Amino acid sequence: MKKLMAFAAAAAMIAFSACEKNGNEGGNNNGGSDEPEIESNAAIQCDGDYSDWEALEGVVVATCPADDVLYEQFKTFKVYADEEFIHIFCEFIPEETLVFVPYFDLDNDPSTGNNSKWSGAGYEAKAEGSVFEEIETEDGTVQGAAKAWDPNFYHYTDSGTEKVLASGMAVLSSVPAPYKNGTWAFEASILRELVLDAYGISGATQFTMGMYQYDLNWSCIGQLPCKTFAQKEAGELEPMLTITLP
């Protein structure tokens, strides 16, 4: 497993968990737990107050077209990188939602990697993390309470995928909560150095990424960036978002 032992000391110091959301609906409070929490002075704070995104320059944004798209539940995807973190913001329709999965084009080359999800990009890595609990009932699996996004990170190999970072090591996240007009939202901060080093691109200055939203059956219900059917029929490709690292 790539480099995990090298990160053990750092992971022990920053037992990543959901950011405490002071007084916000859906927030996480550790109830006096002795577990350490990461301290961040970044411009984006995972506190459920999304106003800090508005004043930033360099935020990359993908929004869902109003109609004529295959998947409609993922409304807004934002990414912002600083010296320490890669920050993300997701606005979505919560019904039946279970998991959010970002996909990463590590070599910034759309001609390499898997292109099954974006016609204009090839990705070599992903992270999988649920944002709602799964509850098993006599009638099947149903959606439970919201929880902080805390993914495992994977690298694609010739034989499948290899886990390069486990959950609890590299992400700080708010708990999804009602946002506006029936949507919900959450924000998360991915520890930049840890993840890029795990993927073997610690010196990278740019990469691309996109996000999928999956339901309780792991069927896609949201994708950003995306194109309309008309744009696809016109031959337009679907690239992922380009993230430039300062």
pLDDT tens track for 187-236 = 999 999 999 999 999 999 999 999 999 999 999 999 999 999 999 999 99
Mean pLDDT, rounded, for 87-100:
98
pLDDT tens track for 157-181 = 988 999 999 999 999 999 999 999 9
Q: Which residues of 141-166 are buried (b: 16+ CB within 10 A; e: fewer)?
A: eebeebbbbbbbbbbbeeeeeeebbe
Q: Tell whether the model's pLDDT for residue 7 goes beyond 70.
A: no
Q: Tell whether the model's pLDDT for residue 11 goes beyond 60.
A: no
Q: Architecture of 5-244 per CATH?
A: Sandwich (2.60)
| pLDDT band of 108, cuts 50, 70, 90 | confident
| pLDDT band of 40, cuts 50, 70, 90 | low
pLDDT tens track for 48-86 = 999 999 989 999 999 999 889 999 999 999 999 999 999
| pLDDT band of 240, cuts 50, 70, 90 | very high
Q: How is the chain split into domains, by residue range?
A: 5-244
pLDDT at residue 85, rounded to an integer: 96
Quote the pTM value: 0.84
